[in-house]
Chains A and B, each alone.
Chain A
Amino acid sequence: MKTKTIIVSLLLFLSYSVFAQKRTNKKYVISGYITEKSTKETLKGVSVYIKSLSIGGITNNYGFFSIQLPEGIYELSFNYLGYKTITKEVSLSEDMVINESLEESPESLEEVEVIAQNVIKESKSNLMSSVSITQRDIEKTPVLLGEKDAFKTLQLLPGIQGGNEGSSGLFVRGGTPDQNLILLDEATVYNSNHLFGFFSVFNGDAIKSLTAFKGGFPARFGGRLSSVIKIDTKDGNKEKLSGKVNIGLISSSLVLEGPIKKGKTSFIFSGRRTYADLLAKPFQKKEDSEFNYFFHDVNFKIHHIFNDKNKLFWSSYLGQDKFDINFNDSEDEQIVGVDRSKFSWGSLTSTLRWNHEFNNKLFANTSLIYSNYNLDLKVNFRDFTSLEEEKFQNNSGINDYSIKTDFDYFLNTSHHIRFGAIATKHEFTPQRVKGKISSEGININVKQQINSIEAATYVEDEWKLSDKVSAIPGVRLSYFKQNKKTYLNFESRFSTVFRPQTDLAVKLSFSKMNQYVHLLPSTGISLPTDLWVTSTDKIKPQISEQIAVGMVKDFGNSGYSLNIEGYYKKLRQVIAFKEGVSFLGEDIAEGKDINFEDNITFGEGEAYGSEFLFRKQKGKFTGWLGYTLAWSTRQFDELNNGKTFFARYDRRHDISIVGNYKLNKKVTFSANWVLTSGPRFTLPEFRTLRVQNNFPIKSVLLGTVKDENNISRERNNIRGETSHRLDLGVQFHKKLRRNKERIWSFSVYNTYGRKNPYSYYVQARINGSNVLTNTELVRVSAFAVVPSISYTLKF
């Protein structure tokens, strides 16, 4: 297999030289940058098209494009969704630089402007299994408590499913959340949730674009099995100071952006904080117990243009959740002791990027990246009478230090070659315990740390073989070292597009991925206590191989498109806790040695299904209908008695209908209707006598003795009830003086109050004599009808 990959790579490079030799001397290069007119933000994915030759290209991540053409006169058109098309005639007799700024197309009703709102046709893209959403999509989608959430918008697209009701976790094509590579300005984000998974950490106001790859992964991405979620934040307005203030029910946010030096240096700052803790404080003042929770996040970015060929970006993100519990021990209305617990978790990322244009064909970006995730628990108990004090601190986390270089080489109109390399040092701290008990003279300070190196190099070629056939062959060589154990793996990637007719594309892709870092979840939902661990000599990398076939049809210039895909994914060496093992609470709280390697078991998985997306991206009414039919199974020798079982979020059917209707310049309506098969749960099905009955040592927990057990013979044996809900939203826009705009947004989540299952459990009711009196099956639902309101001022 490895030999074949090497041969394919060599042939690939050989073909480059052959093509290079065929070039005539009378070819010239048009290159440049495309920006947004009012802010000078660079625009990625802009189509640069020469109609007479039926060829073109698109701008890269930093708005750069390069096209090689024979000498002549051409009409170039620059198209980008939501922007007016620019058409430019050029007489090409030497290399040219064209920097263009696109003007946003007003979303109005006048026919002429609607026509000007261009759509890049889905069938023109050489990638498959990828979806992009913009800040506009995020803003329009009605979500829980009015918190604009990029991940919840993504969940409405086929192949990307949510976890429990209200959660922002992503389950892509039968994968798990840890199998998603989430990149925020190229930095890996390990914890993407706030408030125990109900909100994602990404402030919608700071996001420029979000692209999710579900399959057909380009070779430039690697390290996770199921998806790549690439999030780029805005660079900041280079022309004028502008901003946005948003006041919502549970949080408020501020975005401020502007030039530090006009046209050269810009900044953007965005911050968000919830305030339930502040509002609840007056109610808790006189209580002996106090609970406070809040989260905040801050994004900051500076963009500096040294000259046409050198640009610098520095972007950082800090997000934290904090949960405090305070108890006062009182006697005769006097406080005699205090018990304080502080629980905090969050991420910090920082990326320094340097764009350098070596020449009009070769573009490079080099990044220094830092990524951190930390979970911290502090407990402090003080007795004022005995002067005893107990302090306890437990933390776990990850620090990543990366260096990365990516090159874009626009060889000619047939080849756009990307190559590069990345190296990351991972520092894992599964646990660090510090403790002090004054009365017993105990002082503990224990730290576990595991370091590893992950590196990769890749090359891929976006290759136009003919007018009808394109392909993207690529290889990635990944390397991982932990202690004395090393892994070296070839990952082959391939995707191809065949266009038998205009506006119709048939696509095929294959990708192999390796994952060297793993998340050990404590429960079926995402919690901050979930532990990230590294591959070791005992824990091999997880592997996936995915094949996908699809068809994309655009219906003329109407803005309608239909995308159908089928996929099959094989997962190998996937890891899970052994039966009944978790690190939730007990081991961590007790400061016991965690040897995660001995508690892990390895298995295989399979996921397959089909996805259907019918989309309308143009006109007064936009939206989509998405449907997913999917299966996802796992098999572990040491779980479920070795039998294959369905994955927790094996949802058979998933339907999303999303619609936005712009009534006029002032009013926009939006609605989502979602129907999904319930997730799976493990619930007991039988009651049996316990093996303990004849064992001389009795298990007594919390004073309960039982001679019967409720048992399940199969993991994830129950499919929960079908979930569905309707979310409605309306936005009222008003233009104010000095180019300001205010927006009132009203939304209702789960409008008709469907009690969708969050979980189920069996409740045994026992009387004071430890006698079982009743057993019940209980459904837990969250978020019946949740109305929200928010006020936004743009300036």
Chain B
Amino acid sequence: MNKLIYLSVFCQFFFLLSCEEVIDPSVLLKPKPQLLVINGVISPQDKEVKVQVSRSISLVEAINTKGNAKNPIVSNAKVFINEKNKAPVQLNYSNEKSNYIATPEQLKIVAGKQYFLRVEVDNKIYTSSCRIPTNKVDDLQGELKRQNNKNSLSETIKISITDIPKQDNYYVFGALYENNGTAPSFELPSDQFISDKLIDGEKISTNVILVDNLIIDSEVFDDSSLNPKATIQVANVEETLYDSLRISTLNIDNEGDFFIDQAIPPSNIIGENSYGIFAGFQITEREIQLIR
């Protein structure tokens, strides 16, 4: 009787097991016109103004070339940015950086000002506009902690800010930190992207997981070779940029999860078959030391 029961259970699991199969993408994904992709994020704190112009490739092509197909960079475009009521400044293409660039001397980005983008490619015109957030975060605090859990090491950076009051803000958090080749990593996308919709002028905190479960040999561990400094970052960004960054990160996080559909990232580029973001932000950075 037991054998019969076990056989029955085995049969159930066998038949219940879902079946995954790699399929020809062209069965579902029909050909669509190529997109002109324009991305430009500008800030008063940046050393240069950059706009990238490229073309999309179809996912079918990406799959059929096993990921070898690269997005073609458009280097023959004419890219102009102007502050409202001022003359446009043309950005020059840099082969080295694959971007159209203007120096602060050519184009000064000022907090609270509105900027207009105009891109000309193959006799077609693409436009967009953005407004630089008026304020940046003044109160940025952080703690770098290292914890030795018997035979593993974990490091965390806790970041907190005071919300800029009396306006809607969209914050993106991050940290610059290098340790044995590992980079800062958030556990969840919601730890990196926080808006102040529920609060005004209060404290906002987040966690950055740095290195988790690094195996070490003994309980007494000499960490003098590890980096004792990190640079914490917070950017106050336009809502469109916030949504674009958040959705893009979320989509990558959800890749391979068949329960969750892709979210549609926003685009504020106007023009035929275009896609991308032109937006402003203000960033605050601060170096912090390891707390022992």
Contacts and interface: CB of A to CB of B under 8 A. Distances in A.
A449 interface: no
Contact of B251 (A279, A696, A709, A776): A709
A435 B247 CA distance: 30
A245 B282 CA distance: 70
Nearest to B260: A523
A682 interface: yes
A714 interface: yes
A689 B37 contact: yes
B261 A698 contact: no
Interface stretch (B48-56, B86-94, B215-223): B48-56
A776 B63 contact: yes
Interface in A747-795: 755, 758-764, 772-787
B1 interface: no
Nearest to B40: A694
B148 interface: no
> In terms of DSSP, what is the predominant structure of the interface of chain B?
mixed
Interface in B260-280: 260-267, 275-277
Contacts of B183: 698, 700, 703, 705
Nearest to A690: B248
B250 to A, nearest CB: 5
B35 interface: yes
Contacts of B66: 773-775
Nearest to B50: A694
A18 interface: no
A280 B13 CA distance: 10
B205 to A, nearest CB: 11
B235 A641 contact: no
B81 interface: no
A684 B260 CA distance: 13
Contact of B255 (A641, A714, A762, A774): A762
Nearest to A577: B263
B184 interface: yes
Contact of B57 (A145, A687, A699, A715): A687
Range, interface on chain A: 35 or more
A683 interface: yes
A94 interface: no
A242 interface: no
Given A587-B190, A685-B59, A780 B15 contact: no
Range, interface on chain B: 35 or more
Contacts of B54: 688-689
Interface string A246-261: 0001100000000000
B5 interface: yes
A761 B257 contact: yes
A579 B266 contact: yes
B290 interface: no
B185 A693 contact: no
Given A700-B186, A764-B255, A683 B248 contact: no
A197 B45 CA distance: 51
B226 interface: no
A704 B182 CA distance: 11
Interface string B15-39: 1101111111101110010010101
A713 B33 CA distance: 12
Contact of A780 (B19, B255, B262, B265): B19
A333 interface: no
A586 B245 contact: no
A579 B261 contact: no
A785 B63 CA distance: 31
Interface string B239-256: 001011111111111011
B111 interface: no
B248 A709 contact: yes
A598 interface: yes
B211 to A, nearest CB: 10
Interface string B40-75: 110000100010101011110011001101010000
A322 B88 CA distance: 64
B18 A781 contact: yes
B197 interface: yes
A773 B185 CA distance: 22
Contact of B28 (A249, A691, A720): A720
A712 B264 contact: yes
Contact of A718 (B29, B35, B63, B248): B29
Nearest to B279: A691
A306 interface: no
A688 B35 contact: yes
Contacts of B57: 686-687
A755 B17 CA distance: 12
Contact of B262 (A587, A700, A712, A758): A712
B253 A701 contact: yes
A86 B52 CA distance: 84
Contacts of A590: 188, 190
Contact of B256 (A698, A713, A761): A761
15 contacts: A279-B5, A523-B259, A641-B266, A682-B262, A683-B262, A692-B248, A694-B40, A695-B281, A702-B253, A719-B28, A761-B256, A761-B257, A774-B67, A777-B23, A777-B24
